[in-house]
Chain A
């Protein structure tokens, strides 16, 4: 079962614009992570936000987490053509006994046009 659901499925913007992607999940979590995947490659970790955090920044990335709404957003500011990739959220479910596994959503495919 897939815990996270990203929205939108695809996003096309112009270079310099901001890109916002959203993730909703179903169960309580220990943390939520965002990953990036270039076409045909492995995933690269971008940022991790813990369940007791509300916002986190890393360079041009800003992640928010609303545990009451079970949702998170990833904002990429001043986008570049090199940001073109698929972005996935992953949750670490807070289950009894601790599953210690990451559950991924289906991803948002971002295209940044030069």
Chain B
């Protein structure tokens, strides 16, 4: 059953703590993306990767880090430098080359406690 899986669904972070959000896909997609969504808002691009071992900053990369060691996996770390991390995080993947749809995971809701 092909798809893209995010875990966990809910995550609580203490002040000053780093947390890592998981994103795994078995769709054989080269491109993967991380977006942040705040209540009532659209999606803002954090990081994206077109190929293994390469990634680019999106519009709001500060306070976040990623790695792309495997084609299937694109984990996002929310560091303590991110001052307002409470949000809904969405991972997506797609084929490269443009004119192709993106497939989204079900999201991770991160709350700072």
A:26-83 near B, CB below 8 Å:
30-31, 33, 35, 40-45, 48, 50
- Pick from B41, B88, B90, B105: contact of A106, CB under 8 Å: B41
Query: B107 on the interface (CB 8 Å rule)?
Result: yes
Docked Cα-Cα span, A100 to B101, in Å, equals: 11
Residues of chain A with a CB closer than 8 A to B97's CB: 100
Query: B99 on the interface (CB 8 Å rule)?
Result: yes
Q: Are A30 and B50 in contact (CB under 8 A)?
A: no
Docked Cα-Cα span, A44 to B106, in Å, equals: 10
Query: B21 on the interface (CB 8 Å rule)?
Result: no
Total CB contacts across the A-B interface at under 8 A: 67
- Pick from A31, A45, A103: contact of B99, CB under 8 Å: A31
Query: B2 on the interface (CB 8 Å rule)?
Result: no
> Who on chain A is nearest to B44 by CB?
A2
Residues of chain B with a CB closer than 8 A to A45's CB: 101-103
Q: Are B102 and A1 in contact (CB under 8 A)?
A: no
Residues of chain B with a CB closer than 8 A to A1's CB: 59
Q: Mark B79-113, 1 if CB is under 8 A from A, else 0.
A: 00000000010101010111111111111010000
Chain A residues with a Cβ under 8 A of chain B: 1-2, 4, 30-31, 33, 35, 40-45, 48, 50, 88, 90, 92, 98, 100-107, 109
23 sampled A-B residue pairs with Cβ under 8 A: A2-B44, A31-B99, A33-B102, A40-B88, A42-B6, A42-B90, A42-B104, A42-B106, A43-B90, A43-B104, A45-B101, A48-B100, A90-B102, A98-B98, A100-B50, A100-B97, A100-B98, A103-B45, A104-B35, A105-B42, A107-B41, A107-B42, A109-B40
